[in-house]
Amino acid sequence: MLDRPSNGSHVAVGYPSEMRAEETVSLRQIHRFVRRYARTIAAAILIALVAGGLYLFFATPVFSAMAEILIDPSESQTVLQGPNHLEGPIDNARVESQIELLKSERISLRVIQELNLLDDPAFGPIGSLNPIALVRSLMRFGSEPQGDEEYRRLRGAVNIFNDGLTVRRKGTSYVIQVYYQSADPELAARIANTTVATYIREQIEAKSATARSGSNWLQERVVELRGQLNGAARAVEEFKARNNIVDAGNRGLLSEQQLSELSSQLILARARTAEARARVARIDEILRAGSPDVAVTESLGNQIITTLRQRYVETAAAEAELTARYGSTHPAAESRRAEMANQRKAIMEELNRIGEAYRSDFEVARTRETTLSSELGKLVGAAAQSKEGQVMLGELDTAALAYRRMYESFLQKFHETVQKESFPVSDSRIITDATRPLVPSQPRTILVLALALLLGSGAGVGTAMVQQTFDRSIRSPSQVRRAFDLDCLGIVPRVARPTHFGRTRSEASIEAVLEAPGSAFSNGLHEIKTSLDMVRALRNIRRVGILSAEPGAGKTILASNLAILYGLSGRRALVIDADLHGAGLSRAAPADLGLLEVLEGAVPVKAAICQPARMPYALLAASGEGCTSEARFHLGSERMRATLDTLQELFDLTLIDLPAFSAAVDARAVSIHLDAVILVVECGVTSVENVQLMLNAIAGSNVAVLGVVLNKADARIADES
């Protein structure tokens, strides 16, 4: 604090610099904030808790019954989908659609009519302050239903029903929870169960109506397809009759079957003709030879020829034996040779007969081959001519087959739809029935009190922040350092002392350090004296002004008690009451002569100094009797300087109680004759702007500002520092 320039310059910044200096808020600052505005926050919390308690006391208990339904993941099959049709999972849009269906007015009206809620005295608006119901009521405000009395009652019942009904999805599952709130627990359970049951019936009825509509449409379509199928089949038969097309069943057309059979027969006939020709050629060769070979005759495979040939061989063997024994002329040999001739003749005759048979077979085979070739040629020509007719017949058959398949498919769908109409199945089912609730769901005591505590705390903190934002007063040493770049010489707590009427005052006396030497007030004064001694040890400071921004800051009491401490320590201390407007010390210790008389030259300064009773310091009062008011303009004169120089030789320390800066300009006038000043700030009262104006005003007076004394501070501020 001694390093400040002698011209009294200072940092010309205000309280917002605190936020720029520290961008982060520490726990210590939060603790200070809470302690400073503890009463405001506690009052807001108390008000909120009282309001919550009143709400809990007057609110009507509301019971909530809950029923659950499950939406089956397999979607309902449409009329044109088969029984084996596979469906994907249910999407969120479908679940949300079912929720909206549960909240629809159609369901509400059916439940109201089924339970006869219009005539049920327990059915009415929710008693508790339900936020959702309150918002809905505000949205309907000014739009009351128009019409007759019955219609208005019905619309009012629908609004009450919708206010008490809550439908929501359970997480991401296919389960939908249906809640209903009512002052009657039995009614809440009945309405919840009736709502989900009505929803299931609504689905079943909707499916039945859809199936009925689909069956009617399918029936009409089946009749239409039956007529189209009959027409297509009739066109096929008429075309076959016109074009001589005969169907052979699974083997195709008759003409195609005949053409295939004739081709097979012609191949066989040609093979037989070739075989017969070969036999005729072979028998002719044998007949031309005249003596058939044994191998050839055996190859013919004729039993007669084989027998005759065997006899011929035996006769030839006998003839050869007889000729060898008796000679060729022997009658027996000749008889055997005649017999051999007859046998050869018989063989030749048999061969001729066989040849004739072979020739006959050859002619028959050749005739058959010629006939088959002719018939096959005719069939091929007829087939070529009917090719275009077969193409047209294929088209007619395809159309008839298509009509048949469509007819069969729609006929099957028709039977399935009729079954669905007679026994429809819902996609949803009830998994939890609503039961009578035993405990009211509203109001929730813990939740209401917790919410009241939270809102009260928020309101209290918000109010405190608003107060702090608009509070420009000085409250802490750190604020002094950040706002003015000045040291806080000490913190003097507020003193409460009793009065004659049993009340307390927050104003210490001018001799408080003598009355209570161990009090917090005395400790604060000792701290200020220590700070001032440290300054005086480094620099020759004999004349110190005590200055405040506004009256009532307690500078006079601080000056008196500080002088007492110096007097008790053996120092020669003088207090000059220069506060000509307040003159607090002069009233406490009246004197005939004072500062104004000295400045007018009426008396020497030594004659004006007095010794107050019980005070260990000397006092130069403000003014005595008979002094002119113009003398106050001499505070900044050379006579004032000469007076202070004279007093400096007589006393070790002179404390000048200057007038408040906002009450007069005397402080600025006399400050040019001082070595230093101490600024007294009333905690929570003196504003930053007033202190800043005071510092700016004395900046050119060549006086050092030793620091700031935070006076009348709360005890917790002193503890925090």
pLDDT in tens, 369-400: 888 788 777 777 666 656 666 677 778 788 88
Given a cut of 90, is residue 66 above it in pLDDT? yes
User: Distance between CA atoms of 73 and 71, rounded to whole angstroms?
Assistant: 6
63 touches 184 (CB < 8 A): yes
Q: Comparing 178-182, 308-312, 427-431, 692-696, which segment has the lowest mean pLDDT?
A: 308-312
Tens of pLDDT, residue by residue over 271-283, are 888 888 887 887 7
Q: Which residues lie below 8 Å from residue 673, measured CB to CB, with a gap of 6+?
A: 543, 636, 640, 641, 644
Segment of 107-116, 224-233, 235-244, 292-301 carrying the highest mean pLDDT: 107-116
Beta-bridge partner residues of 657: 546, 577
pLDDT at 254: 57
User: Distance between CA atoms of 344 and 294, rounded to whole angstroms?
Assistant: 12
Which pairs count as long-range contacts for 216-225, CB under 8 Å and 24+ apart, including other chains? Answer: 217/79, 218/79, 218/410, 218/413, 218/414, 218/417, 219/414, 221/410, 222/407, 222/410, 222/411, 222/414, 225/403, 225/406, 225/407, 225/410
3-class SS of residue 64: strand
Q: At what angle do helices 105-115 and 149-164 cross, to 10 degrees?
A: 110
pLDDT at 433: 93
Percent of the chain with pLDDT over 90: 15
Q: At what angle do helices 185-242 and 387-422 cross, to 10 degrees?
A: 160
pLDDT at 73: 60
Q: At what angle do helices 520-538 and 555-568 cross, to 10 degrees?
A: 70
Q: Comparing 249-258, 471-480, 578-587, which segment has the lowest mean pLDDT?
A: 249-258
Q: Which residues lie below 8 Å from residue 115, measured CB to CB, with a gap of 6+?
A: 190, 191, 194
Given a cut of 70, is residue 312 above it in pLDDT? yes
User: Distance between CA atoms of 683 and 504, rounded to whole angstroms?
Assistant: 19
pLDDT at 453: 92
Q: Is 136 exposed, middle or buried (0-12, 13-18, 19+ CB in 10 A)?
A: middle
Given a cut of 70, is residue 528 above it in pLDDT? yes
Question: How far from 270 is each of 135, 264, 274, 276, CA to CA, in Å?
Answer: 106, 10, 6, 10
Residue range(s) in the chain whose domain bears CATH number 3.40.50.300: 473-720
Q: Comparing 76-85, 187-196, 410-419, which segment has the lowest mean pLDDT?
A: 76-85
CATH superfamily of 473-720: P-loop containing nucleotide triphosphate hydrolases (3.40.50.300)
User: Distance between CA atoms of 661 and 703, rounded to whole angstroms?
Assistant: 15
pLDDT at 68: 93
Q: Comparing 19-23, 412-416, 610-614, which segment has the lowest mean pLDDT?
A: 19-23
Tens of pLDDT, residue by residue over 7-21, are 444 433 333 334 334
pLDDT at 129: 47
User: Distance between CA atoms of 101 and 167, rounded to whole angstroms?
Assistant: 10
Count Cβ neighbours within 10 Å for each residue of 11-32 and write b for 16 or more, e otherwise. Answer: eebbbebbeeeeeeeeeeeeeb
Given a cut of 80, is residue 524 above it in pLDDT? yes
Mean pLDDT of 310-326: 84
Count CB atoms within 10 A of the CB of residue 489.
26
* Bridge pairing between strands 165-169 and 175-182: antiparallel
pLDDT at 499: 53
Given a cut of 80, is residue 78 above it in pLDDT? no
Given a cut of 70, is residue 665 above it in pLDDT? no
Residue 330 parent element (H or E):
none
Count Cβ neighbours within 10 Å for each residue of 238-277 and write b for 16 or more, e otherwise. Answer: ebbeeeebeeeeeeebebeebbeebeebbeebbebbeebb
Q: What Rg, from alpha-carbon coordinates, does the chain have? A: 68
The better pLDDT of the pair 633, 365 is held by 365
Torsion of CA 81, 82, 86, 92, to 10 degrees: 30
Given a cut of 50, is residue 255 above it in pLDDT? yes
Cis peptide before 424 (omega within 30 of 0): no
Tens of pLDDT, residue by residue over 459-484, are 999 998 888 788 778 888 888 888 88
The better pLDDT of the pair 298, 426 is held by 426
Given a cut of 50, is residue 501 above it in pLDDT? no
pLDDT at 196: 93
8 touches 427 (CB < 8 A): no
User: Distance between CA atoms of 621 and 623, rounded to whole angstroms?
Assistant: 6
pLDDT at 177: 93
Determine the Cα angle at 339 with ends 334 and 345, to 5°.
Answer: 130
The better pLDDT of the pair 412, 287 is held by 412
Please identify which residue in the block is written with the tokens 């000490």: 490
CA neighbours within 13 Å on the CB side: how many for 613? Answer: 4
Mean pLDDT of 486-491: 88
588 touches 575 (CB < 8 A): no
- Joined together, the tokens standing for residue 561 give 């008690």
User: Distance between CA atoms of 473 and 485, rounded to whole angstroms?
Assistant: 16
Tens of pLDDT, residue by residue over 186-218, are 999 999 999 999 999 888 888 778 777 877 888
Segment of 44-58, 144-158, 232-246, 403-417 carrying the highest mean pLDDT: 44-58
What is the residue-averaged pLDDT of the chain? 79
3-class SS of residue 577: strand
pLDDT at 225: 83
Task: Band the pLDDT of 165: cuts 50, 70, 90.
Answer: very high
pLDDT at 166: 93
